[in-house]
Chain A
């Protein structure tokens, strides 16, 4: 027994090493590494990048940004065409025929209406987009392939928001509903869609190990059809470490890694043969949000002092390595950005004066600065800010918090953080995303609105802007709102970072248009293996 044991161990190893791994089959696999865990796969609840990636690949939205044309503008998708009538108050969509769900059932108007009702009822994710604009009764099916939306008032960004309406399989969801607070609709499939997919998207869910990997496989009956060299299997892996991601990409074990890497990492990757680093000006705001509802941050002078203490130059040049300085909340490249809005600048003496005027003495204040786990730029900005605020006699505690917890905590006034480092990418192609979406009180309760800003004049202007149909007056109102917001110092607006993403050069078809998540719709890629 003593002598046989070693052989028992050696033999399988020898076999394993000599037998080649030919279990690959004809699968074209695409491996993507993301620093954040996929928080949900439910299309009524998704809001952040990782959940967006999951949803965009397994479900279809009503409208889709024209990525192939390099534009964010919404174009036909599940909706083949539409008409706008009644002064911008009625939208009638014709639903494309022949779109099949993963279980074979055809997608009809009923499914679209159901999906919309579901989003409104569950009140999560992007449901806030239609607050005050639409209720469930105002959306109905007029025939098997026609959906009518009767808006309460004209709503400028409406078409753009339809890129966030993902269609679920009504019959399947209802067949799996559990008891819940929505009357005969039970829990509206809340439980079921938390772990299962009832979609029509190009990929189906193969397996999901929540802490590590989401595996998706191609849906043969997808309505857009398949071409050779498209991806048939997606391995979406959660890897929390920068160094590991870089190494896996370099070794070829991963095909693409997420955009949140260090600028130094991208510098290295750019010089590496076989790796492509795509660089585009982004429609992304990086800012340090301040909780406007929590004393002493309720005093604009305190907020202004903190904003004036920050070293913007070091942040944009050293930490972000060449980002554009933020000028207000709306990213500079988005149309509707107000040219009159200037960026904040460091002025330590003025900061001290503001603090003194607010009656604060050095050493009196301490704040907790939250930044997402593994987010190195957020951490470095934190160290910089900590050092800047120390000059004012304000103590800043750095707290690295898991993203899911930040999302959870911001939902409630009591748990909302005081100071938080947030990247906010344009959610839909309109300046409304970074004005109404962040500074109207109805949107409080998400990571986008940690600042909990309330200014009645701004609120009125934003509501008016949304109701204005003509382009020029509409934009003028949005620009006015930006001017007012900036004067209130609700956040420390730092930068519009350059969007960078690294992938292996055999991945073709990548296009970044600025909208969150749509650049990793794997259906658009082809893999050219040499």
Chain B
């Protein structure tokens, strides 16, 4: 993480020495563990990740997440063995909800990967070379994307393609990267004038190298916190799109689509809409709490 000039005797001020870093880490962990909400958030996230990676171990009826119909057990209310009940073609709602975690988390990971992959470099460039036309151009484009409400833009983009999961991923990524550009831009601007950057420049390091090897490691914390919080919002946005019809297609289970589908059968078969919605809520809360906890633990004031 620090400057790879092993022949230099001094470590520059911006890169904490290994020992200090370890102490900070321990303190952060202790702060984290003290708050019950943080633990709750972490637990929820852990469960979701498990559901997403090995759904077959958790779901009681894994085949119901595929092209299966059981017309002999339609509309069973919640109870044993279908703890979330069954739907209009007899599929176990709980199993489908478990598999749905895979869809939502995949969506979040892909979107954030693209957003980070696009937004961070752009932000770094715009921030370091602030005052140039390139920087101004990047920030203007960022402004345009930020000035359109994400759901509307996402819908407009999906109009150009088929209303499925891939379109949703592309569309949401489209609207998400500007936030990181702006965040990184601000961070770079504030870190630019720090002594360790001056020193690196004095040592003759190339600007690009400085950006990526000096500044970037020092702004990792706010990015990580925002990314964690963003997972929750991407899940929310993704399920909203799925609710409107832009999401994973049958028979692949998608939380938002399940809620939308269940509306046909309200209010008698209430579990079809309300329980998947509850799952979305818990997932969003989980990542939200985790993000908040990270922020408190790392004690970073952007």
Residues of A within 8 A of B (CB): 241-243, 247, 262, 264, 268, 314, 318-319, 376, 380, 382-384, 386-387, 390, 396-400
A384-B267 contact in complex given A376-B88, A398-B250, A400-B245, C-beta closer than 8 Å: no
B-side contacts of A314, CB under 8 Å? 69, 71
| Residue B131 lies at the interface, judged by CB distance under 8 Å to chain A | no
The answer on a CB contact under 8 Å between B264 and A376 is: yes
B-side contacts of A398, CB under 8 Å? 249-250
Chain A nearest Cβ from B216, distance in angstroms: 43
The answer on a CB contact under 8 Å between B264 and A383 is: no
The answer on a CB contact under 8 Å between B267 and A319 is: no
The answer on a CB contact under 8 Å between B264 and A387 is: no
The answer on a CB contact under 8 Å between B263 and A383 is: no
Q: Is the interface of A mostly helix, strand, loop or mixed?
A: helix
The answer on a CB contact under 8 Å between B263 and A387 is: no
B-side contacts of A386, CB under 8 Å? 67, 250-251
Q: B72: nearest residue on chain A (CB-CB)?
A: A318
A383-B251 contact in complex given A243-B263, A319-B71, A376-B88, C-beta closer than 8 Å: yes
Max chain A C-beta neighbours (<10 A), residue from B69, B249, B263, B265: B69
A384-B89 contact in complex given A243-B266, A314-B71, A376-B264, C-beta closer than 8 Å: yes
A-side contacts of B265, CB under 8 Å? 242-243
Chain B nearest Cβ from A103, distance in angstroms: 43
B-side contacts of A399, CB under 8 Å? 249
A380-B245 contact in complex given A243-B264, A386-B251, C-beta closer than 8 Å: no
A241-B263 contact in complex given A383-B69, A386-B251, C-beta closer than 8 Å: yes
Proximity string of chain B (197-235) to chain A, C-beta cutoff 8 Å, 1 when within and 0 when not = 000000000000000000000000000000000000000
- Lowest 8 CB-CB distances: which A-B pairs, in order? A318-B71, A390-B67, A387-B67, A398-B250, A243-B266, A242-B264, A386-B67, A387-B69
Q: Is the interface of B mostly helix, strand, loop or mixed?
A: loop
The answer on a CB contact under 8 Å between A380 and B89 is: yes
The answer on a CB contact under 8 Å between A241 and B264 is: yes
| Residue B190 lies at the interface, judged by CB distance under 8 Å to chain A | no
20 extra interchain contacts, Cβ-Cβ under 8 A, other than A243-B267, A398-B249?
A242-B264, A242-B265, A243-B265, A243-B266, A314-B69, A318-B71, A318-B72, A380-B69, A380-B89, A382-B250, A383-B69, A383-B89, A384-B69, A384-B71, A386-B67, A386-B251, A387-B67, A396-B67, A397-B250, A399-B249
| Residue B35 lies at the interface, judged by CB distance under 8 Å to chain A | no
Chain B nearest Cβ from A386, distance in angstroms: 5
A380-B264 contact in complex given A386-B251, A398-B249, C-beta closer than 8 Å: no
| Residue B11 lies at the interface, judged by CB distance under 8 Å to chain A | no
Partner of A397 from the list B68, B71, B249 (CB cut-off 8 Å) is: B249
Proximity string of chain B (45-74) to chain A, C-beta cutoff 8 Å, 1 when within and 0 when not = 000000000000000000000111101101
B-side contacts of A262, CB under 8 Å? 264
Give Cα A383–Cα B88 distance, bound, in whole angstroms.
Answer: 10
27 contacting pairs across A/B (C-beta < 8 A): A241-B264, A242-B265, A243-B265, A247-B267, A262-B264, A264-B75, A314-B69, A318-B72, A319-B71, A376-B264, A380-B69, A380-B89, A383-B67, A383-B69, A383-B250, A383-B251, A384-B89, A386-B67, A386-B251, A387-B68, A390-B67, A396-B67, A397-B249, A397-B250, A398-B249, A398-B250, A400-B245
